[in-house]
Copies of this chain bind each other. A is one copy, B any other.
Amino acid sequence: MTGDTQLDEFGLIAELLAPLADNKAAARLSDDAAQVAVPDGQALVISTDMLVANVHFPANADAALVANRLMACNISDLAAKGAQPFGCLLTLGVAENWDSAFLTRFVATLAEGLKTYEMQLWGGDTVRAKQGFAGLTVHGLVPHGEMVTRSGAQDGDDVYVTGTIGDGFLDLPDLGSAYAAPAPPIAFGQAVRGLVNAAIDVSDGLMADLDHICRASKGSIEIEAEAIPLSEAGRAYGDLAALVCGGDDLQMAFTAPPAHADILGIEAEKHRIALTRIGRFSADGAHAAILLSEKGAEIKLQKRGFRHF
């Protein structure tokens, strides 16, 4: 580290990021591109998600929060697709208030995430920006043709969700732990890859994300409102509609045949994942998820999810 309060582009790359890219593909960012050998029999699962100041996090947010959210929202996509993290590229729009202390803390937190998820850093790009932003493009591995899709749900499938729903929405204002340091079910996602028919990560909001499965799988999902797993804070909040449409949970929603219920329960326990059956998929061409009260009446929702613009 230099003693400057502001790193320049080459300092940021050479001093902070290059040491994280100590893998054969990236060779410590010593070239214009990474050269990546994909293991035989494996396909890549590729996704990208970015976070922008004042849209996805407060402009004065802690660097660790930004790094943790960035890593988690990308790992969450890999988890739902049943993929094993492999490598990623980082893009940074460095805002004026992102000084050396901020960048050092951001990169240190990113390094922890790379270690936790056993993912390589392959490259990236950094620019100066008025509005800070951070993006990752993540690459995972699955055996050829085995990525879990949105479109595979079968008539009569049970619908499950991991963890609790609504904490992303609830914690947005006070930067509490479920929002600031989410833990997507990455190992569980790989473990159940062959047991589930369709999956998605809960990022736009539970109802909006289940709608995506319904549209892709050409059916409908009936959700039992009282079955939705809530945290203590969620139960105290009271407004279920807000929690199921709030987004940013980074949990995994999926459908699976009823015959897999026991083995899914065993895998959940093994991976210390709270797993809850919340409804059923019907291949009726209706293309939407509906929320049902205990008495079986539909609970109408005005806004089904978080839109990024």
Contacts and interface: CB of A to CB of B under 8 A. Distances in A.
A31 B148 CA distance: 9
Interface in A212-253: 216
Contact of A38 (B44, B47, B80, B309): B44
Contacts of A10: 307
Interface string A1-41: 00000001110000000000000010000111111111000
A38 B38 CA distance: 7
Nearest to A40: B40
Given A35-B81, A55-B128, A91-B91, 19 more contacts: A31-B81, A32-B80, A33-B83, A34-B44, A35-B43, A35-B45, A35-B142, A36-B45, A44-B44, A48-B123, A50-B91, A50-B125, A52-B129, A55-B127, A93-B93, A93-B131, A127-B309, A129-B131, A135-B135
A79 B229 CA distance: 51
A300 interface: no
A101 B80 CA distance: 35
Chain copies in the assembled complex: 2
A147 B27 CA distance: 13
A215 to B, nearest CB: 9
A158 to B, nearest CB: 21
B93 A52 contact: yes
Contacts of A133: 93, 127, 129, 133
Interface in A43-59: 43-50, 52, 54-56
A135 B8 CA distance: 20
A45 B30 contact: no
A113 interface: no
A47 B123 contact: yes
A52 B91 contact: no
Interface residues of A, number: 61
A125 B89 CA distance: 14
A83 B34 CA distance: 11
Contact of A91 (B9, B48, B130, B200): B48
A150 B300 CA distance: 60
A157 interface: no
Interface string A265-308: 00000000000000000000000000000000000000000011
Interface string A197-217: 000110000000000000010
A37 B145 CA distance: 9
Contacts of A308: 9, 126-128
A32 B127 contact: no
Contacts of A145: 35
A94 interface: yes
A167 interface: no
A20 to B, nearest CB: 15
A109 interface: no
A43 B33 contact: no
A33 B139 CA distance: 9
